Amino acid sequence: MIQQSRVLMQTRYVVSGMVTIGLIGFAMSEAMGVLERRLMPWLQRPTP
């Protein structure tokens, strides 16, 4: 979708696709963090 929209100069779709990919990546990262904390409580990650 992003590549086709880029070729067709449809900036709105390119930017919305990039934001969607970013949000999915953020959600997956947070979900993996939650799983890590629940499944491996002996690992202590420093809190920022």
Q: What digits encode the pLDDT tens for the residues 1-38?
A: 778 888 888 888 889 999 999 999 999 999 999 999 89
Is 48's pLDDT higher than 90? Answer: no
Q: Would you tell me how many other CB atoms lie within 10 Å of the CB of residue 12?
A: 8
Q: Is residue 45 part of a domain?
A: no
Nearest alpha-carbon partner for 12 in 21, 2, 22, 27? 2
**What is the average per-residue pLDDT within 39-43?**
85
Which token pair is 33?
A: 């963090």
Q: Is residue 7 part of a domain?
A: yes
pTM for this model (two decimals): 0.70
**Domain count across the chain:** 1
Q: Is residue 44 part of a domain?
A: no
Q: Is residue 23 part of a domain?
A: yes
The reported pLDDT for the residue numbered 10 is 87
